[in-house]
């Protein structure tokens, strides 16, 4: 049931405030400034013993994992990283008993992720799932985990599930952080930020008309560059994947810091750049990257907390806590991908060559 929307992608983008609300419901513990994650199956003693976190997923879920790894590293101070499950399982990885593995998947059926989980279990590792579909294969194979509660996602292109995955990683990071060394004050700060998310998502979605106009200005591009730095980089990667999948426009994502090491050669008026520019301690560095692009006559669309002078257009998003900003900054770019694809007459819910869940190798 499309409920008045013309596509599932549009419906699912529009449902994100409710979806995030569902992910938070019943989990926040104000008394101890933490969250309860019922099915995690990891007691405080085990949580304190974790020396590394390794997150495995594919596509959009891998990008959610990249943001999740940064959140866990920042809030729980555990070295963390994400890797495509499809690569991990073929490189004979060292499986370490002090590493907590997290498999992330919307469908819970992606073969490469499932096979990575089975290989890890065979070697005696502890694997948690961060999954949307209840009772799916990955949910069953893992030792415990978090359901992301995004609700059914029909469009092949993932939107609301990505957002809920990132929110779920924030919950995991907060939970691990509060068991370890995250202060009560910081725990409270993150909880307050989480509670603001649904209202802020609605605020972003109200800007749809403006984003639709912008997409008309960029739909003629043959190729687009997406840049971000640290927290903004996985946001740029996910936005670039979204645009590719649904509009078939070629897109590249780079850390803003890597521009001068090669991709700057691509910048010219026909290659617009989408830049993620949060108001954090890297703002000046990001602005310097915008200047470099402008000096090569590149068009710039910034997603930022305040107007960016060097950008041709700025989409302003509301500010949250810096650790949670990535959750919000990708949302206008889901709409950008959607409206670009619509303007180009693409088959939005079923892009060519793609399947909703990839259950083969």
Catalytic residues: 356
User: Of all residues in this chain, which one has the CB nearest to ligand M6R in the complex?
Assistant: 59
Q: Does 340 bind ligand M6R (CB under 6 A)?
A: no
Give least dist CB 99 to ligand M6R, A.
Answer: 21
Please pick, from the candidates 47, 71, 113, 328, the single residue that binds ligand M6R as defined by CB under 6 A: 113
Please pick, from the candidates 140, 213, 354, 359, the single residue that binds ligand M6R as defined by CB under 6 A: 354
Q: How far apart are CA 199 and CA 187, in angstroms?
A: 20
Give least dist CB 237 to ligand M6R, A.
Answer: 11
Sign of the C-alpha dihedral, residues 135, 234, 311, 224?
Answer: negative
- Return the number of the residue (158 or 320) whose C-beta is nearest ligand M6R: 158
Total of chain residues touching ligand M6R, rule CB under 6 A: 16
Q: Does 61 bind ligand M6R (CB under 6 A)?
A: yes
Give least dist CB 172 to ligand M6R, A.
Answer: 17
Burial of 308 per CB tally in 10 Å (0-12, 13-18, 19+): buried
Q: Does 58 bind ligand M6R (CB under 6 A)?
A: yes
Please pick, from the candidates 186, 245, 323, 325, the single residue that binds ligand M6R as defined by CB under 6 A: 245
Q: How far apart are CA 58 and CA 247, in angstroms?
A: 20
Q: Does 56 bind ligand M6R (CB under 6 A)?
A: no
Give least dist CB 113 to ligand M6R, A.
Answer: 5
| Binding string, residues 170-209; x marks residues near ligand M6R by CB under 6 A | ----------------------------------------
Segment lying near ligand M6R (by CB under 6 A), choices 13-21, 58-66, 223-231, 300-308: 58-66
Q: Looking only at residues 68 through 107 of this chain, which bind ligand M6R when binding is defined by CB under 6 A?
A: 105-107
Structure tokens that stand for 123 in this block: 């070697």
Give least dist CB 357 to ligand M6R, A.
Answer: 5
- Return the number of the residue (107 or 200) whose C-beta is nearest ligand M6R: 107
- Return the number of the residue (154 or 283) whose C-beta is nearest ligand M6R: 154
| Binding string, residues 152-171; x marks residues near ligand M6R by CB under 6 A | ----xxx-------------
Give least dist CB 57 to ligand M6R, A.
Answer: 6
Q: Does 293 bind ligand M6R (CB under 6 A)?
A: no
Segment lying near ligand M6R (by CB under 6 A), choices 31-39, 76-84, 306-314, 351-359: 351-359
- Residue from 103, 10, 9 nearest 354 by CA: 9
Q: Does 59 bind ligand M6R (CB under 6 A)?
A: yes
Q: Which residues bind ligand M6R (CB under 6 A)?
A: 58-61, 105-107, 110, 113, 156-158, 245, 354, 357-358
């Amino acid at each position: 049931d499309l409920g008045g929307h013309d596509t599932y992608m549009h419906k699912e983008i529009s449902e994100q405030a409710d979806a995030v609300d569902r992910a938070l419901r019943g989990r926040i513990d104000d008394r101890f400034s933490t969250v309860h994650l019922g099915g995690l199956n990891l007691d405080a003693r085990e949580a304190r013993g974790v020396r590394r976190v390794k997150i495995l997923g594919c596509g959009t879920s891998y990008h959610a994992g990249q943001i999740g790894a940064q959140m866990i590293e920042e809030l729980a101070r555990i070295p963390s990283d994400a890797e495509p499950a499809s690569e991990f399982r073929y490189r004979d990885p060292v499986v370490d008993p002090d590493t907590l593995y997290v498999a992330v998947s919307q469908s819970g059926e992606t073969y490469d992720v499932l096979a990575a989980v089975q290989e890890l279990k065979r070697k005696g590792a502890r694997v948690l799932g961060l999954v949307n579909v209840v009772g799916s294969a990955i949910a069953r194979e893992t030792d415990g985990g978090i359901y992301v509660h995004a609700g059914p996602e029909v469009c092949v292109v993932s939107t609301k599930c990505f957002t809920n995955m990132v929110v779920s990683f924030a919950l995991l990071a907060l939970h691990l952080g509060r068991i370890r060394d995250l202060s009560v004050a910081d725990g409270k700060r993150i909880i307050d930020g989480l509670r603001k998310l649904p209202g802020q998502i609605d605020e972003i979605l109200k800007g749809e008309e403006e984003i639709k106009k912008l997409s008309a200005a960029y739909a003629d591009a043959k190729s687009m560059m997406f840049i971000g730095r640290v927290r903004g980089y996985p946001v740029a990667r996910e936005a670039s994947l979204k645009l590719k999948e649904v509009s078939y426009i070629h897109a590249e994502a780079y850390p803003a810091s890597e521009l001068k090491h090669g991709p700057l050669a691509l910048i010219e008026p026909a290659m617009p750049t989408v830049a993620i520019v949060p108001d954090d301690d890297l703002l000046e560095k990001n602005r310097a990257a915008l200047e470099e692009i402008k000096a090569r006559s590149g068009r710039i669309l910034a997603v930022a907390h305040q107007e960016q002078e060097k950008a041709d257009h700025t989409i302003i998003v509301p500010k949250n806590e810096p650790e949670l900003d990535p959750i919000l900054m990708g949302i206008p770019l889901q709409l950008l991908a959607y409206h670009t694809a619509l303007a180009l007459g693409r088959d939005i819910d079923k892009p060519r060559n793609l399947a909703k869940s990839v259950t083969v190798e």
